[in-house]
Amino acid sequence: MAGGEGTRLRPLTSNQPKPMMPVVNRPMMEHIVALLRQHGFEDIVVTVAFLANSIRTYFGDGSEFGVRMVYATEETPLGTAGSVRNAMAELRDERFLVISGDVLTDIDLSAIVRFHEERGAMATIGLKAMEDPLEFGIVITKEDGAIERFLEKPTWGQVFSDTINTGIYVLEPEIFDYIEADTPVDFSSDVFPQLLEDGRPLFGYVADGYWEDVGTLEAYARAHQDVLDGKVAIELPGFGMGDGVWLGEGCDVHPDARIDGPAVLGDYCKVEAGAHIREYTVLGQNVMVGGDAFLERAIVHDNAYLGRAVRLRGCVVGRSTDLREGAACEEGVVLGDECFVGEHAVINPSVKVYPFKTIEAGAIINSSIVWESRGARHLFGRRGVSGLANVDLSPELAMKVAMAWGTTLPKGSTVTTSRDSSRAARTLKRAVMVGLNAAGVNVDDLEVAPVPVTRFQVRGQRTHGGITVRLDEANPQAVTIRFFDEAGLDIDESAQRKVERLYYREDFRRVFAADMGDIGFPPRAVEYYTAALMATVDGQAIRGARFKAVLDYSYGSTSFVMPNVLAKLGADVLAVNPYASTAEAATFDRKASAEKVSALVIAADADLGVVLSPDGENVTMIDDTGKVLSDDEMLFVLVSLICSTTDSARIAVPVAVSQEVERFAAAHGAEIVWTKLSSSNLMDAANTGGVTFAASQEGGYIFPDFLPAYDGTASFVKMLGLLARTGLPLSKLVASVPPFHQAHEVVPTPWEHKGLVMRSLVEASKDEEMVLVDGVKLVHPDGWALVIPDPDEPSTHVWAEAESAAAASAKAHEVAVRIQSLLH
C-alpha cells in the first residue's frame, strides 16, 4: 500500500510520496520490501496514487531488490480496501498479505501467517499494543484472538484497549466478495465490521516486535532514534565502526572532526576540521559539513550543503538544501527540499519552511507553532482554536485558520460571524473575515452578539456555518475562535481534522479577484431571534404571572438582546450590569455574582434571580429565598419541570449526572439519553435524537424546540414559562430535590499509559456492569464510578456517586488507587 500523500509530514512530503521518505538513508518502503523478502514474500503488488512515478522509477520491476514487483494505479481515492480491490487481478488466486509501505516495522510476518492458517481465518489483522492508541483504530479481541469490536479513531473516553490495527492483514481471496468495485471502501470501517456482523472467521494477532506509523514529524525523528538505539531490526547502511558510528562508502571525515555515536553518515559525505557531529545525527548521501559546524539529533537528506559554523539541533533538512556560514536551525525546525538559508540566518524552534524557498542572510525567522505540545497536540482544543491574543493566536494565524475552514466550504457560500466587545476579538474577527473572503466565502457579520444569537442566525438564515471570536472566560489574555456548522452546532472532530490538515500544509483555496467573498450586515437578527423564542412559550401565561426577577448580564453582549425579550414578557426585572464591557466581563466571577444577586432577590422579594455568562450560553439561578442553586440542583429542577409538563419526555444528560435524575425521570415516564461529557456530543444528541431537553453539569441547558445548543436567555424564558404553568415557587421545587453525593479525583497519568490503564480496567471489570458511552462507567447497586482520560492533560478523571458523601469519596479513592496500581 503505497498511495499515501503523508500530509502531516509536509513540507518533507510536498514533492515526494510518503513511502519514499528516507529512514536512515533508505526509503521506508525499501525497508518493508526487505522485510517481505526476509519472510519469503517475493511477488509484490504495489498500489500507487500520489506521485506514483517516483516509486516506479526507484523500484522498477523489483529485481534489484530480489523480488518481482507490479503496480496498480489508483486514479481516484478508493480507500484501503478499494485500493486492494483495484489490484484484484494479481491477487484473486491465492492467500495474500497486505502491508503499508510507509511504516517502520520488524514484526514477524511469518508468525501472523501461521496464526491465520491455524485459526482457519478468512481475515487476520496484525495488532500491536501501543502506549498512545488515540490516533489509531483500536481492536478488541477475545482470548482466542477472535475479534470482538472495532473502534476507529476513538476519543480518550472510548479507549478500552491499547491494541491497535497495524494495517497488516492476511486475507483469503474470498475477501473480494465484500469489496465493491470502483467505490471507496475501507477495511477497518467497512469490510471488517461486515465480516464480524456476518459471523465470518475474523481474528487479530497481537504481534511482538517494533511498529511505528511514521505519520508525523515527531514520529519521523523518533523512528530514527529507535533505529540507532537498536529497537528495530533493520539493516543499517554503511560500515559499523564499533562505537555506534556507521560510515558509508567514500566518506571523508577530517581527523580533527568529532563524531559521537550513534550516528550514520551516508555515502560520500565530507566532514571538515572542527566539526562536531553528536548523537542521533543521520546524514544522507553527498552531504557536506563545513568546519566548526555543530549537529545534534539532526536528520539531513541527500546532497545538502552545511556551511562553516552551521548549527543544527533536533531538526530535519531536506534534499539539496543550502545553509551558508553561521546559519542555525533550532529544535523542531523542518526545511523542505532545495531551500537556501543565508549567512547567520536563525530559524527559531518549530518553524517549517516549504521547498524551494530563500531565507536572506541575517534574517531571524520567528514563527512558533504552539499547537503541537504534548498536552494539546491539535490546533483545536475543547471549545475551538484558543491562545494568547496577538501572541499564540495572531491575526495571521486567525486568517489562515479561516482560509483553511473556508476551503472546506463551497465557493460562494455564506458564513455568519460575531464577537464580544473586546478589542482583541474585534481585531481577530476582522482577520477571520479576510481569510473567509480570500477563500471565496461571503460573510454575514453580526458584529457584537451573544453566542446563541449567532447559532440562531446560522440556522435561521441557512448559512453554511458560523464563527464567533471571544475572550476566554478562564483567561482574560486569551481568545477563542469557535466554529459552528450549518446547524449552528460546534463543528465535529472530522471537520476539525480537515481544517487542521489544510492549515498545517497551507493548502488554501485562493480565488480570483472577481470571486472573492462579500461582507453583509444582516438586519433585525435580534428581533427574529426574539420572535422565534417567544413562539415556543406561552407568553400570555408568563405575563399573567407577573414575575419579579433580578437579572445579571455579567457585562456581556446579552445586554443587546434581553431588552427585546423582556419587553415581550411583562416581567418586573431589576437589571444588574446591563451593558457590554470587556474589562468588566474579563473579571467575571460566577460565584461572586450569584451571591450579589442572591442579596438583591431577598431585598426585592423577587421570584428568582439569574446570572448570565458573558457569552450568553450558561446560567446560574437563585430561588425566591435567595438560595444559589448548584448546577446539579438546577438540572434536577428543570428535569422535574419538564417531566411534569411533558408526556414521554426524552432527556439527554452526560454519563456523570446523578443516578437520582434517571430514577426520577423513569418514575415520571421519561427516558434518559446518556451522552459523552463533551458539549458537542450533548448538542448533537439534542439536535438529532428526538430530545425534549438536554443539560450539562456546568450550567448549560438546551431546549431543542427552539435551539439545540446552550442558551442562557432561552433558559431564563423557558424557566418562567414552566413556572407559570405549574404555579409553584422555585424554592418549593428546589426543596423536592433528593440528596445525592458525588466525589471527584484526578490521577496523574502519562500519555503513554492512558491506553494501558483503560484496557486493564476493562479487563479487570468484566464481571461488573459497565456503561461505555464515554470512558468506563462501573455500575454498582449502591452507586457508580466513572473513569475517563482527560483529552488535553496527562491525567485520568474519576467520578463516583454513592449513598453518602463519605461513601462517594471512598469509592472514588478506591478506583483512583486501582489506576495508580496499574501505573506502577
Residue 792 CB contacts under 8 Å (≥ 6 apart), including other chains:
375, 376, 381, 382
**In angstroms, how far is the first alpha carbon of the chain from the final one?**
39
Per-residue pLDDT tens over the stretch 484-527: 999 999 998 888 988 988 887 788 999 999 999 999 999 999 99
pLDDT bucket at 14, cuts 50 / 70 / 90: confident
Cβ atoms of 322 and 341 closer than 8 Å? yes
Q: What are phi and psi of 191, to 5 degrees?
A: -70, -55
Rounded mean pLDDT of 628-647?
89
How large is the average pLDDT for residues 582-601? 84
Q: Can you tell me which residue has the cell 477472535?
A: 146
Partners of residue 245 on adjacent β-strands: 263
If you search the block for the grid coordinates 437563585, which residue do you land on?
A: 622
Return all residues near 194 (Cβ < 8 A) that are at least 6 apart. 178
For residues 253-266, average pLDDT: 92
Range with the largest mean pLDDT of 65-79, 130-144, 147-161 = 65-79
The one-letter amino acid code at 648 reads S
Query: What pLDDT was estimated at residue 348?
Result: 86
Q: Quick check: 798 pLDDT over 80?
A: yes
pLDDT band at 760 (very low <50, low <70, confident <90, very high): confident
Secondary structure (DSSP) of 24-56: TTEEHHHHHHHHHHHTT--EEEEEE-TTHHHHH
pLDDT at 132: 62
Strand ranges (E), 440-496: 442-448, 465-472, 475-484
Which segments within 585-642 are labelled E, that is strand? 608-612, 619-622
If you average pLDDT over residues 457-476, what whole number do you get?
Answer: 88
The owner of cell 497486505 is 98
Place of cell 538559508: 341
C-alpha 507/C-alpha 400 separation (Å) is: 10
For 447, phi then psi, to 5°, come to 60, -125
**C-alpha 409: how far from chain center:** 20
What is the radius of gyration, based on Cα positions, of the chain? Answer: 30
pLDDT at 144: 82
- Among 2-11, 140-149, 246-255, 473-482, top mean pLDDT goes to 246-255
Measured in whole angstroms, the distance separating CA 529 from the mean position of its chain's CA atoms is 32
Unique residue bearing C-alpha cell 419526555: 649
Omega of the bond leading into 450 within 30 degrees of 0 (cis): no
Instruction: Give the DSSP letter string of 105-146.
Output: E---HHHHHHHHHHHT-SEEEEEEE-S--TTS-EEEE-TTSB
**Number of Cβ within a 10 Å radius of residue 11:** 23
Q: What is the mean pLDDT of the chain?
A: 87
The whole-angstrom separation of Cα 155 and Cα 754 is 12
The answer, yes or no, to whether residue 131 has pLDDT greater than 60, is: yes
Cell of 674: 446518556
- Give the per-residue pLDDT at 444: 97
Strand partners, 726: none
Tell me the CA distances in angstroms from 380 to 425, 498, 500, 774, one per residue in order. 18, 11, 8, 20
DSSP letter at 189 equals I
* Averaged pLDDT, 335-350: 87
Type of residue at 695: A
Considering only CA atoms, which of 158, 140, 133, 138 is closest in space to residue 771? 158
List pLDDT tens digits, range 354-397.
888 888 777 777 653 233 222 234 578 778 898 878 766 889 99
Tell me the average pLDDT across 122-137: 76
Q: What is the dihedral of CA 631, 635, 636, 640, to 10 degrees?
A: 150
C-alpha cell at 246: 556507521
Considering Cα of 764, then 767, then 768, then 769, what sign does the dihedral take?
A: positive
Q: Supply 692's cell numbers.
A: 425534549
Nearest-angstrom CA–CA distance, 172 and 220 = 33
Whether the pLDDT of residue 154 is over 60: the answer is no
Between the CA atoms of 404, 405, 407 and 411, what dihedral angle is there, to the nearest 10 degrees? Answer: -150
In the block, cell 533493520 appears at 234
- Per-residue pLDDT, averaged over 665-675, amounts to 88
pLDDT of residue 369: 28
pLDDT at 350: 84
Asked if 747 and 795 count as a contact pair (C-beta separation under 8 A), the reply is yes
Give the C-alpha separation, 595 to 317, whole Å: 59
CB atoms within 10 A of CB 414: 22
Position 216 scores a pLDDT of 83
Please state at what angle helix 631-645 crosses helix 712-726, rounded to 10 degrees.
50
C-alpha dihedral, 725 to 727 to 729 to 730, nearest 10°: -10
Strands 294-296 and 311-313: parallel
* Among 473, 461, 592, CA closest to 532: 461
Q: What is the mean pLDDT of residues 24-28?
A: 90
For 219-242, what is each residue's pLDDT tens digit? 899 999 999 988 988 888 878 877
The CB density around residue 28, as the number of other CB atoms within 10 Å, is 26
- Which has the closest alpha carbon to 401: 381, 420, 421? 381
CA distance 611 to 592: 10
H helix or E strand, kind and range, residue 673: strand 671-675
What is the number of helices (H) and of strands (E) in the chain?
23, 53
Q: Which set of grid coordinates corresponds to residue 745?
A: 479525583
Residue 484, CB half-sphere, CA atoms under 13 Å: how many? Answer: 30
Quick: pLDDT tens for 62-115. 888 889 999 988 877 788 888 898 888 888 889 999 999 889 999 999 999 999
d(C-alpha 661, C-alpha 638), whole Å: 10
Measured CA to CA in angstroms, residue 759 lies from 124, 162, 332, 822 at distances of 21, 6, 33, 10
pLDDT tier at 611, thresholds 50, 70, 90: very high
What does the pLDDT average to over 650-663? 89
Q: How far apart are CA 250 and CA 269, in angstroms?
A: 7
